[in-house]
């Protein structure tokens, strides 16, 4: 068998626990064509340039296809897979109920509730000495939050969890098995959309202050969202709010436990967690690849021409460790300043939920650091989920001497 390329090695599950040395190799050619026709971009400068380049599309219908081949599925549901002006309009309509300029206090006002949810989750494991950070804290926390925000009953979790996982696992770079992955995803997406569409219709009769109510009822200068758009936008928010933050909190806990002196620092320096979360987004980010982009034109970049119609994968996690961009890229510096990382992407598709994700991670990590007594890893590295694009541990088992009670 031919020796596999760096990129193929990255996709290979055996490298999930530590892809970073492979990223360094990848960066030697910041824009590199792969066997399957994908252009993988790994330099910070190049990634930022392409994320701000209007000749790049997030709509995979722009892929060049051999004549006669079938039209592919269109990627993740919702505006993440659309281009302006459709994208901008839908994002604005959704943002209206989520953040500035129309709802600037919405996320900030959630803070007390977020703290309470985390405290309750930690209380729930207080009598144990062995905790699975993923199943006990990092997964249930953001799911509870996104459910409340959207207005989705938490009890339905077992239903939509399956769909959300199927969707999340199906995205990722690489064209070889893409068709098969997309087929699996389409089914899950349809069911999730139907579920959320149904909820939104019910909500229309009985509006609340949740996002689904806002999406289904608002009409303004940008018009209204169609019921179909409400269903896909709801799906997008549920999946994105569900499958990413869990990794940030888990990767964060893992990194803290690999640098145990940090735990005491987080207890002593309350502002530190702000910078630590940014550094995590740079150093151990949940999203390693954006693999949805297509070139609308021949694009000259870093001495390569990406031909019109070619798929592009942006290796965010490699770019955030580019030594041309950041000093000591492979060191975790919890109080690093002027940290311009790619954890949430950049440009018009910059993560919609970033402020929420930041707040969730800051709260979870400071509460964990404060309350877990002498925490230590049971296995290092932990087992990872399969995806190379959305990368994170499947479980993170730790042992503790005890759990400090919340001061009432």
Partner 1 sequence: MRVIVDLTRCQGYGQCAFLAPDVFTMNGEEALLYDTDADEAQREHVLRAAAACPVQAIHLDRMATQHRGMRTGAVVSPPVDDGFRKTGRIVIVGASLAGARAAGVLRRDGFTGSLTLIGDEPYEPYDRPPLSKQVLVGRVPADHTLLPRLREVDAEWLPGVAAAGLDLAARTVRLSDGREVGFDRVLIATGARARPWPNPEEAALDGVLPLRTIEEASSLRERLAARPRRVLVIGAGFTGSEVASVCRDLDLPVTVVERGPAPLVGALGGVIGDVAADMQRAHGVDLRCGVTVEALEGDADGRFRAARLSDGSTVEADVAVVALGAIRNVEWLRDSGLAAGVWGVACDAGCRAVDINGLVTDDVFVAGDVARFPHPVYNFQFMTLEHWGNAVAQAEIAAHNMLSDQAHRWPHLSLPVFWSNQFGTSIKSVGVPTFADEVVIAHGSVEERRFVALYGYRGRLTAAVTFDRAMWLEFYQGLIERAAPFPPDFRATDRPETLRPVPAEVPERLEATQVTVMVTGHDPAERRATLVHGDR
Binding site residues, ligand HEM, CB under 6 A: 58, 79-80, 91, 146, 236-237, 240-241, 244-245, 248, 285-287, 290, 292, 343-345, 349, 351-353, 356-357
Separation CA 325–CA 336 (nearest Å): 14
Counting contacts by CB under 8 A, is residue 220 touching partner 1?
Answer: no
Nearest to 369 by CA among 245, 232, 197, 252: 252
Cis amide leading into 184 (omega within 30): no
| The two three-digit tokens of residue 163, written as one number | 């769909």
Q: Count H helices and E strands in the chain, helices first.
A: 16, 14
Q: Please, which residue, 110 or 131, has the CB nearer to ligand HEM? A: 110
Instruction: Answer with the entry of ligand HEM, partner 1, none that 99 interacts with (C-beta below 5 to 8 A by kind).
Output: partner 1
Counting contacts by CB under 8 A, is residue 330 touching partner 1?
Answer: no
Instruction: Provide the β-strand partners of residue 397.
Output: 132
- Interaction mask 238-277, partner 1, x per CB under 8 A: --------------------------------xx--xx--
Task: Write down the residue that tokens 């409400």 correspond to.
Answer: 230
Which DSSP category does 170 fall into? H
Counting contacts by CB under 8 A, is residue 88 touching partner 1?
Answer: yes
Outline where DSSP puts E strands in 42-149: 56-57, 130-132
Separation CA 279–CA 140 (nearest Å): 23
Instruction: Answer with the entry of partner 1, ligand HEM, none that 92 interacts with (C-beta below 5 to 8 A by kind).
Output: partner 1
Nearest to 301 by CA among 63, 62, 53: 53
Separation CA 69–CA 25 (nearest Å): 34
Task: Write down the residue that tokens 């990722």 correspond to.
Answer: 172
Instruction: Report the nearest approach of ligand HEM to the CB of residue 15 (Å).
Output: 20
Instruction: Answer with the entry of ligand HEM, partner 1, none that 338 interacts with (C-beta below 5 to 8 A by kind).
Output: partner 1
Q: Please, which residue, 47 or 400, has the CB nearer to ligand HEM? A: 47
DSSP string spanning 294-327?
A: EESS-EEETTEEEPTT-EEEE-HHHHTT-TTTSS
Counting contacts by CB under 8 A, is residue 278 touching partner 1?
Answer: yes
Instruction: Answer with the entry of ligand HEM, partner 1, none that 275 interacts with (C-beta below 5 to 8 A by kind).
Output: partner 1
Helix (H) or strand (E) holding 224: strand 223-224
Of 30-38, 48-56, 167-175, 236-244: span binding partner 1 (CB under 8 A):
48-56
Counting contacts by CB under 8 A, is residue 318 touching partner 1?
Answer: no
Counting contacts by CB under 8 A, is residue 227 touching partner 1?
Answer: no
Instruction: Report the nearest approach of partner 1 to the CB of residue 225 (Å).
Output: 18
Q: Please, which residue, 13 or 350, has the CB nearer to partner 1? A: 350
Please, which of residues 16-45 interact with partner 1 by CB under 8 A?
A: none
Burial of 231 (0-12, 13-18, 19+ CB in 10 A): buried
Instruction: Answer with the entry of ligand HEM, partner 1, none that 108 interacts with (C-beta below 5 to 8 A by kind).
Output: partner 1
- Which residue, judged by CB position, is nearest to ligand HEM in the bound state? 353
Nearest to 394 by CA among 372, 379, 373, 376: 379
- Interaction mask 95-134, partner 1, x per CB under 8 A: ----xxx--xx-xx--------------------------
Q: What is the CA radius of gyration of the chain?
A: 21
Counting contacts by CB under 8 A, is residue 296 touching partner 1?
Answer: yes
Instruction: Report the nearest approach of partner 1 to the CB of residue 149 (Å).
Output: 14
Instruction: Provide the β-strand partners of residue 304.
Output: 301
Chain residues binding partner 1 by CB under 8 A are 49, 52-57, 83-85, 88, 92, 99-101, 104-105, 107-108, 270-271, 274-275, 278, 296-297, 308, 323-327, 338-340, 344, 346-348, 350, 354-355, 358-359, 362
């Amino acid at each position: 068998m031919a020796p596999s390329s760096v990129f193929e090695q990255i996709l290979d599950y055996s490298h999930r626990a530590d892809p970073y040395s492979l990223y360094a190799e990848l960066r030697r050619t910041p824009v590199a064509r792969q066997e399957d026709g994908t252009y993988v971009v790994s330099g910070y400068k190049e990634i930022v340039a392409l994320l701000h380049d209007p000749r790049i599309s997030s709509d995979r219908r722009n892929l060049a296809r051999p004549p006669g081949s079938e039209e592919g599925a269109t990627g993740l549901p919702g505006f993440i897979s659309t281009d302006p002006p459709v994208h901008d309009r839908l994002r604005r309509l959704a943002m209206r109920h989520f953040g500035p300029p129309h709802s600037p206090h919405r996320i900030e006002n959630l803070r007390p509730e977020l703290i309470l949810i985390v405290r309750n989750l930690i209380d729930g494991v207080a009598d144990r000495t062995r905790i699975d950070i993923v199943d006990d804290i990092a997964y249930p926390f953001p799911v509870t939050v996104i459910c409340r925000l959207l207005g989705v009953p938490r009890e339905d979790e077992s239903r939509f969890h399956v769909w959300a996982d199927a969707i999340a696992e199906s995205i990722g770079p690489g064209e070889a098995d893409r068709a098969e992955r997309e087929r699996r995803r389409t089914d899950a997406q349809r069911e999730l959309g139907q579920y959320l569409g149904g909820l939104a219709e019910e909500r229309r009769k009985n509006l609340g202050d949740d996002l689904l109510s806002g999406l289904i009822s608002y009409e303004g200068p940008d018009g209204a969202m169609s019921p179909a758009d409400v269903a896909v936008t709801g799906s997008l928010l549920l999946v994105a709010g569900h499958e990413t933050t869990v990794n940030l909190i888990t990767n964060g806990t893992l990194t803290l436990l690999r640098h145990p002196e940090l735990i005491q620092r987080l207890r002593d320096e309350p502002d530190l967690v702000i910078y630590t979360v940014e550094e995590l987004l740079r150093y151990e980010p949940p999203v390693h690849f954006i693999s949805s982009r297509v070139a609308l034109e021949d694009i000259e970049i870093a001495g390569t021409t990406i031909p019109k119609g070619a798929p592009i994968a942006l290796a965010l996690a490699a770019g955030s460790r580019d030594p041309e961009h950041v000093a000591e890229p492979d060191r975790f510096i919890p109080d690093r300043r002027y940290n311009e990382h790619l954890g949430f992407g950049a440009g018009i598709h910059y993560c919609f939920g970033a402020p929420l994700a930041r707040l969730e991670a800051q709260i979870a990590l400071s509460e964990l650091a404060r309350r877990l007594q002498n925490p230590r890893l049971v296995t290092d590295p932990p087992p990872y989920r399969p995806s190379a694009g959305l990368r994170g541990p499947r479980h993170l088992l730790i042992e503790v001497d005890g759990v400090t009670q919340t001061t009432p």
